[in-house]
């Protein structure tokens, strides 16, 4: 269905727009790397996991802060459920990596931390867009494809965990975005675009570091 058939200031439009961002995400350099023959190189896989650890650590903080700063009952329940299901996944990856130090890269650090910072300054609906329509929607794609590749090597279960849960997590926030004002939907479209821009920048940087 064509996105122009929906009113711009509506949840249907935002969800349709998100499908556009999802489809474009397949063109990201990280997705291309994951699906390439380069993944057979053990050193590249190690560097990839070292980069993903950085993003995973910040994602854990993002989910925790969203939960901490949720007070409205309709947002608290979902935030707590999401945290319960995500808690400690970054530590599982760290264990699988045998506690190797993470990479240090200014671009990866800044783009990863951006989502965490936004949990301090955005309202509940805006946080919902970033968490569910950006982070979880992209994760649903990335981890599903990554698990197909990484499962061949038996180096970590991190991708399996997310490949099974992220589709549910992507859809958790939809009901929280219903029946808002046109002005609020316009604002959410801005947050949505910013989130995808930063997410794609982080993923491109992960691929660049991993490939050396």
Question: Residue ranges per domain, the chain?
Answer: 7-211
184 pLDDT band, cuts 50/70/90, is very high
The pLDDT of residue 167 is 55
Residue that is written with structure tokens 């990479």 in the block: 103
Q: How far apart are CA 20 and CA 35, in angstroms?
A: 21
CA distances in angstroms from 94 to 50, 99, 145, 202, 204, listed in the order given: 9, 5, 21, 19, 22
Residue 44 has, within 13 A of its CA and on its CB side, a CA count of 15
The pLDDT of residue 105 is 98
Q: How far apart are CA 172 and CA 186, in angstroms?
A: 21
According to CATH, the topology of domain 7-211 is Heme Oxygenase; Chain A (1.20.910)
CB-based contact 28:199 (threshold 8 Å): no
Overall average pLDDT of the 139-147 stretch? 88
Residue 49 host element (H or E) = helix 42-68
The pLDDT of residue 166 is 44
The pLDDT of residue 85 is 84
Question: Is residue 172 over pLDDT 80?
Answer: no
Is-above-0.85 flag for pTM? yes
| Tens digits of residue pLDDT in 58-86 | 999 999 999 999 888 888 888 888 888 88
| Tens digits of residue pLDDT in 2-60 | 445 556 779 999 999 999 999 999 999 999 999 999 999 999 999 999 999 999 999 99
Q: How far apart are CA 185 and CA 98, in angstroms?
A: 44
């Amino acid at each position: 269905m064509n996105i122009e058939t929906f009113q711009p200031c509506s949840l249907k439009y935002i969800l349709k727009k998100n499908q556009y961002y999802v489809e474009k995400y397949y063109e990201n350099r990280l997705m291309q790397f994951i699906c390439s023959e380069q993944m057979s190189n053990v050193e590249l896989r190690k560097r990839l996991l070292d980069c993903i650890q950085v993003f995973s650590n910040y994602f854990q903080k993002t989910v925790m802060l969203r939960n901490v700063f949720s007070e409205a009952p309709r947002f608290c329940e979902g935030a707590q459920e999401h945290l319960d299901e995500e808690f400690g996944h970054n530590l599982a990856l760290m264990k699988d990596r045998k506690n190797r130090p993470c990479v240090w890269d200014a671009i990866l650090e800044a783009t990863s931390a951006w989502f965490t910072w936004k949990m301090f300054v955005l309202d509940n609906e805006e946080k919902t867009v970033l968490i569910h329509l950006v982070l979880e929607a992209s994760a649903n794609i990335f981890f599903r494809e990554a698990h197909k590749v990484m499962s061949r090597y038996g180096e970590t279960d991190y991708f399996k965990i997310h490949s099974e849960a992220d589709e549910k997590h992507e859809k958790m926030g939809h009901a929280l975005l219903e029946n808002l004002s046109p002005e609020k939907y316009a604002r959410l479209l801005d947050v949505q675009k910013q989130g995808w821009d930063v997410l794609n920048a982080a993923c491109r940087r992960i691929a660049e570091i991993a490939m050396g």
